[in-house]
């Protein structure tokens, strides 16, 4: 098995206890309690502006919630030293901005930073992990390219490779398949499924494609604009009725007898009277 498949620490339990998130005076979510454990692949689904990325930053320990607590095993996430936290969880933000030129191989190698010792890079394990991750994410032909010359989808895969190179057992990925073509979306989600199915990793990813979420996720968190959030096994959460409500778009289920898909059925509009007033 490839070197990088083995995390360097046991997968922690990520627990949310009555978490509240705010944006100004608006409550994004309140009283959210759930647990993310090894073997689980969670997807977070919801419309823009409901706090998905805010929640991801809280789970990553980058900020405290506005109420409640997030614990990594039994320790509040914000109380863990950054270097130690980076060995437990890998975090991919929604957008990565390149500030200077480097080749893709070196950009991926940055992910090994939490494991540095002595005077820097160069351990054999680092080289093997970087090589394996580049291969898994179909970056071999781009490894010597400057990241500043990559397309959006290519840069997204390079950023994801750097996060994977941390060898952290807990993966927190904010829209990891954004900008990717369909083949590479499937490649990434198959990889996450393979890692979590082995029982040594847990992953939480933000997705906008309901059908990809239903196909690959074991669990789902469905967030709505009114602060309402449902969570549990994906097939129980991502139903047409519940997705229609959260996304404010009529969604129906269609099947060919073997496969089932959720598709939009027009746009939900407020009812109006004869004078055009909402009723």
**How much is the mean pLDDT over the chain?**
90
- Side-chain half-sphere exposure of 217, counting CA atoms within 13 A: 29
pLDDT at 113: 85
Helices (H) and strands (E) in the chain, counts: 9, 12
Q: Which domains does the chain have, with CATH numbers?
A: 3-264 (3.40.50.300)
- Asked whether 141 and 196 are in contact (CB, 8 A), the reply is no
pTM summary value: 0.91
Distance (Å, rounded) from C-alpha 206 to C-alpha 189?
A: 12
- Asked whether 135 and 53 are in contact (CB, 8 A), the reply is no
Q: Could you tell me the CA-to-CA distances from 80 to 26, 71, 235 in Å, in that order?
A: 29, 10, 34
Q: Could you tell me the CA-to-CA distances from 188 to 79, 128, 131, 200, 245 in Å, in that order?
A: 31, 20, 17, 17, 29
Each residue's pLDDT, cut to its tens digit, for the chain (279 residues) gives 465 677 778 899 999 999 999 999 999 999 999 999 999 999 999 999 999 999 999 999 999 999 999 999 989 999 999 888 989 999 999 887 776 899 999 999 999 888 776 555 556 688 899 999 999 999 999 999 999 999 999 999 999 999 999 999 999 999 999 999 999 999 999 999 999 999 999 999 999 999 999 999 999 999 999 999 999 999 999 999 999 999 999 999 999 988 899 999 976 555 555 565 655
């Amino acid at each position: 098995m490839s070197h990088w498949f083995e995390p360097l620490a046991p997968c922690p339990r990520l627990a949310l206890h009555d978490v509240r998130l705010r944006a100004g005076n608006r409550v994004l979510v309140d009283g959210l309690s759930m647990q993310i454990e090894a073997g689980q692949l969670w997807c977070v689904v919801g419309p823009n502006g409901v706090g998905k990325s805010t929640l991801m930053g809280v789970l990553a320990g980058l900020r405290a919630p506005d109420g409640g607590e997030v614990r990594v095993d039994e320790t509040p996430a914000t109380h863990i030293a950054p270097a130690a936290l980076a060995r437990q969880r890998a975090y991919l933000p929604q957008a990565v901005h390149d500030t200077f030129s480097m080749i893709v191989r070196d950009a991926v190698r940055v992910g090994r930073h939490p494991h540095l010792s002595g005077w820097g890079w160069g351990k054999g394990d680092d080289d093997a992990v970087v090589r394996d991750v580049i291969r898994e994410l179909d970056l071999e032909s781009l490894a010597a390219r400057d990241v500043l010359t990559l397309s959006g989808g290519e840069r997204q895969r390079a950023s994801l490779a750097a996060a994977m190179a941390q060898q952290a057992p807990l993966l927190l990925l904010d829209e990891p398949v954004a900008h990717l073509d369909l083949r590479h979306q499937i490649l990434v989600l198959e990889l996450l499924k393979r890692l979590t199915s082995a029982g040594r990793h847990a992953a939480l990813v933000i997705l906008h494609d309901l059908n990809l979420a239903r196909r690959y996720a074991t669990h789902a968190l469905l967030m709505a604009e009114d602060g309402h959030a449902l969570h549990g096994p994906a097939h129980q959460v991502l139903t047409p009725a519940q997705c229609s409500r959260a996304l404010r778009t009529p969604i129906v289920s269609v099947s060919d007898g073997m496969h089932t898909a959720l598709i939009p059925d027009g746009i939900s509009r407020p009812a109006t009277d004869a004078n055009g007033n909402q009723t």
